[in-house]
Structure 1
Amino acid sequence: MKRYFIALNLTVVLLLTNSCATNPVTGKRDIMLVSEGQELAMGKESDPQIVASLGLYNDPKLQSFITEKGKAMAAVSHRPDLPYEFKIVDSPVINAFAVPGGYVYFTRGIMAHFNNEAEFAGVLGHEIGHITARHSAQQQSKSMLAQVGLIAGMVVSPQFGQFAEAAQQGLGMLFLKFGRDDERESDRLGVEYSTKIGYDAQEMAGFFHTLEREGEKSGAAEIPNFMSTHPSPGERYETVSKLAAQAKQKLNATNLKVNRDSYLRMIDGIIYGEDPKQGFVENNVFYHPVMKFQFPVPAGWALQNSPQQVQMAPKDGRALMILTLAQGTSLEAAAQQVVQGNQITVLESKQVSVNGLPAFAMVAEQRPQQQQQQQQQQTQVIRALIYLIQYGGNIYNLMGITTANDFNSFANVFSGPMQNFRQLTDPDKLNRQPARIRIKPVTQSGTLQQALTSYQSRSADMQDLSILNGMELNDRVEKGMLIKTIQH
C-alpha cells in the first residue's frame, strides 16, 4: 500500500510539473491538463448535443446580429484566433453559456429580456471571457486531478441517468459550472470587451437588476454569497458599475453606444415563454400539437420539455419519467433496442393496447455489476415500467424509473401517463399559437402601467412586462418611447 501511494504521488507531481500553461488573460502559469486542441475537440463534440437538445431559434436577423457582434468582440479578446460560433437556442429560459473552443449560446429567453444592444454586449463579453480565460479547461483539469487522486465524488442517484442519454450528456457537461472567482473574472472581461467595441458597459450592470427581479418573481430563495457559485446580482451590479467607469477612463472611451431603439425593433415578434408547437402543459395534461398526442402529468410533478425528450419527476426526486422516441421499425425491435441499450433485465412483458394504439409493456431491472457493488455498497437495484406505443409513424418510449424498493409505490403513478397516452384532436390545442413580444410606441406620456394599459395588456402580464421592460410599473415614460408588450 505504501508503494502504491508513493507511485500515486509521483504521478500527481509529474502531472503538475509537466502540465502548466500560460493563461491568455492573466499571463500567469496555470495547471492545465487540457490542450487547446482538446478544447476545440470538446466544443465540436458538445455543440451538436446542445443544438439537438435545445434546438435553434430561427430568426435570421437576430442570428446575423449576434454573429456580427460576436466576431467583432472575439477580434479584440485575448484569444482572437479561435473559430468562434454564436448561436441562439430555442429556450424560454433566461440564460447564456459557452463551451470550450469558442462556442457561445444565447437563449431566446435572454434575448427577449435585453432592452438594448449594450446589455447584450456585456453578457456576450462575459461568455467570451469564460472561453478566453480557459475556465472550462481549468475545471476539466481539476476534475482530472481529482480522479488521479481517487477523490472523485458521486452525483445523487447517478443510476437514473443511465436510462437517459441526455442525462448522461448533462453529467459530462458538469465542468461548465464555474466558481465565483471565474464569474467575477468573466464580468471584468465582459466590461473590457464590450467597452472596446464601443458599448456602454454600465448597461451590463443594470441587467443584473432584471435577473434579480426575475429570480424574486419565480420565488427562488436567496442564496447566501458564500453558498453560491455566482456572486449575488446586487454584488455584481456594484462591481460591474465600478469596472465600467474604470474601463471608460482607462480606454479613454467616449460616445459609448447603448442602441435601445434599434435593439427593440430587432426583437419585435420574438416568441415569449413556451412555444406550444414544442409541447405545453395545461391543467396537468401535456399536449404536443405537432406530433398530435397528449398524456396526463402526475399531480405535483415537475416537467421539463426539450426537443429530444420530456422528463417528469416529483419534488423529492425518488422517481423519474422519461418520454423519448424509440429506435426500431416494430415494437419488438424497439423493445430489444431498449433492453440492450440500457443493459436491463426484463422481468415481465406483454403486448397491450393503449386507447386503440398497439403497445408493448415491460417491467425491467438494472442491477449494479459486481465491481460497482464492491465500490458502491449503497447502490440500489433500479426498476422500470416501460411502455412502447406505436402511433403516427413513431414508436414512443415512456419509462417510469425508481428503486426496486419504491417501485410498488410508484407503479400506479407511472401507469397514468402511459395508459392515458392518446391522439390529440382538440382544435384549440392543435392550433395554439405562442405569445410574442411586440414593440409599441408610447402614445401619451405617463407611467409604464398606463402605457401598457392603453394597449390592452392583461393585468396578469403586468409584472412580467415591467421586468421585460427593465422598469417599474410606476416609472415615467414619454410619448414616442418604445416599450415591449405581449401579444397572446
Structure 2
Amino acid sequence: MMRTVLVCLACAWLAGCAVNPATGRNDFVMMSERQELDLGARYNQEILKQYPRYDDARLQAYIQRVGERVARNSHRSQLNYVFTLVDSPDINAFALPGGYIYIHRGLLAYLNSEAELAAVLGHEVGHVTARHSVRQQSQSTAWGLLGQAAAIGTGIGAVGDLTGVMGNAFVRGYGRDMELEADGLGAQYLARSGYDPQAMIEVVKVLKNQEDFARAQAAKRGEAVAAGGYHGLFDTHPDNERRLQQVVGPARALVGESQEVGRDTFLQMLDGLVFGDSAASGIRRGRHFYHGELDFTLSYPAGWQLVNRPDVLIGHSADQQAFVAMTLEAADARLTPAEFLRQRVGNQRLAAGEELRLGALQGYTAVLPG
C-alpha cells in the first residue's frame, strides 16, 4: 500500500515538473505555457478595469519601446509582451503571467533615466521568464488575483486579507530568493540590451530614499507606514553592497561597448507627467477630498487616511478597523434609494432602515444583520 502511494506521488511530481526557461532548473509547476498565456490575457482585462491606462499615447509608446528592447534580450523573447503605464500615484510595478507588465506613473516619477526605467521593466520581465507566478501558484491552492486587483497598492490590511497567496505575490513580491533571481535576470537583460546594469542599483537607492522620506513624514504626523514598499523591496532584499556583487557584477561581463543611460531623453518624455492624485479621480489634501468634475467635497474624521483609486475612494481609521468605500455608478431614476439598496443586497434582510436627506439629496441607510 505504501509503495503504491509513493509511486502515485512520484508520478504526480513528474507530471508537474518542467524545465525553467530562464534558469534551466526543473521546477514544480501545474500549468502549461498555453494555460499561462490564457490566464494572463484574461486577468489583464480585469486589471485594466481597476487601473485605467495613463492618457498619454506618446509616453505609453515610449514605455512599450523600452520594455520590448529589454524583453527581446530575455530568455522568453518569443512572448508578446505588453507594457502599460497605469494612471495611479502608487509607487509600484508588477507583472501577470504571460508577459503583461504594468508600471504606475507614481513610480515613474521617481526614476531618473531610461536605464532605470529599463531596470524596473527588466526586473518584471525576469519574474515572467522565470515563471515565478506559475511556480508560486503551483505551491499553493490559494488563487486570489481578482481580490488582489482590488488591493493593489492600497496598503490596506483588511483588503489584502481577502486575497490569496499568488495574487499577493504579483504585487508585493515573491520573497527574497525569487526577487534576487528577478534582479539577476533583469541585470542580464539590461546588459544585453546595451543599458548600464548599474541602473538596477540606482533604482534601489531611489526607492530606499523615497521610503525613508515617507517614514519620516509619517512619523511627524504620528502615523505608521506599512512595511514593504515596492515588492516588499527592503523586507526581502539584502543590502546594496551584496546586490552589487550578486547582481551587477556578473552582468557587467555581458556589457558591450555601449552602456546607455538615457537621462535627457527620459526626462523629456516625463515633461508634464501628473504627480500625485489626478484631477480625473479627485484630489486628497490631508483628511479632505475634492472632486471638481463631480462637484463634491468630503471631510473624514481626524486620524483617518484616504486611499484614492480610479474606481473607488476608501477611507479608513488609523487602526484599520473601520472602512468606508465610495464608488460611482449610473443611477436608475425609477428606484428610490431604499429600493436601490434592497436590490443591491439581493435577498438579504435589512434592519433598522432609515431615510437620509442632505439638501436636495435623498438617501437611505440600513444594517445587514450579523
Query: So what's the TM-score if we normalise by structure 2?
Result: 0.82
Q: What is the correspondence of 1:308-387 to structure 2 with a 5 Å cutoff? A: 308-326=311-329, 329=332, 330=335, 331-340=337-346, 344-365=348-369, 381=370
Q: 1:103 to 1:252 in 2, by over 3 A?
A: closer
- Contact 2:287–2:305 under 8 Å retained in 1: no
- Distance in 2, matches of 1:221 and 1:359, equals 35
Equivalent in the alignment of 2:200: 204
1:63 maps onto 2:57 in alignment: no
Equivalent in the alignment of 2:177: 181
Q: Give 3-state SS (helix, strand or coil) of 2:112's partner.
A: coil
Equivalent in the alignment of 2:243: 239
AA aligned opposite 2:354: K
1:263 maps onto 2:257 in alignment: no
CA RMSD, aligned part only?
Answer: 3.1
Equivalent in the alignment of 2:155: none
Q: 1:304 to 1:8 in 2, by over 3 A?
A: farther
Q: Aligned-pair distance for 1:302?
A: 1.6
Equivalent in the alignment of 1:106: 103
- Distance in 1, matches of 2:18 and 2:4, equals 24
AA aligned opposite 1:339: V
- Contact 2:89–2:276 under 8 Å retained in 1: yes
Q: 1:361 to 1:243 in 2, by over 3 A?
A: closer
Counting matched residue pairs gives 339
Equivalent in the alignment of 1:374: none
- Contact 2:119–2:203 under 8 Å retained in 1: no
Q: Which runs of 5+ in 2 are unaligned?
A: 149-158, 216-223
Q: Aligned-pair distance for 1:107?
A: 1.0
- Distance in 2, matches of 1:15 and 1:316, equals 45
Q: After the TM superposition, which segments of 4 or more aligned residues of structure 1 sit over 4 Å from their partners?
A: 5-14, 166-172, 220-224, 228-234
AA aligned opposite 1:48: Q
Q: What is the correspondence of 1:2-401 to structure 2 with a 5 Å cutoff? A: 14-144=11-141, 171=164, 173-176=167-170, 177-219=173-215, 235-236=239-240, 238-240=242-244, 243-249=247-253, 251=254, 253-282=256-285, 284-326=287-329, 329=332, 330=335, 331-340=337-346, 344-365=348-369, 381=370
Q: Aligned-pair distance for 1:58?
A: 1.4
Identify the structure with the greater strand proportion. 1
User: Cα deviations across residues 322-356 of structure 1 (Å, max 9, x unaligned)?
Assistant: 1113566123553233212xx64311223332232
Equivalent in the alignment of 2:152: none
Q: Aligned-pair distance for 1:141?
A: 0.7
- Distance in 2, matches of 1:136 and 1:21, equals 14
Q: 1:284 to 1:79 in 2, by over 3 A?
A: same
- Distance in 2, matches of 1:58 and 1:13, equals 52
- Distance in 2, matches of 1:323 and 1:11, equals 51
Q: Give 3-state SS (helix, strand or coil) of 1:113's partner.
A: coil
- Distance in 1, matches of 2:241 and 2:102, equals 23
Q: Aligned-pair distance for 1:269?
A: 1.3
Q: Which runs of 5+ in 1 are unaligned?
A: 148-154, 156-165, 366-380, 382-488
Larger Rg over CA atoms: 1
- Contact 1:208–1:234 under 8 Å retained in 2: no
- Contact 2:160–2:168 under 8 Å retained in 1: no
Q: Aligned-pair distance for 1:54?
A: 2.2
What is the percent sequence identity of the aligned residues? 33
- Contact 1:205–1:241 under 8 Å retained in 2: no
- Contact 1:327–1:334 under 8 Å retained in 2: no
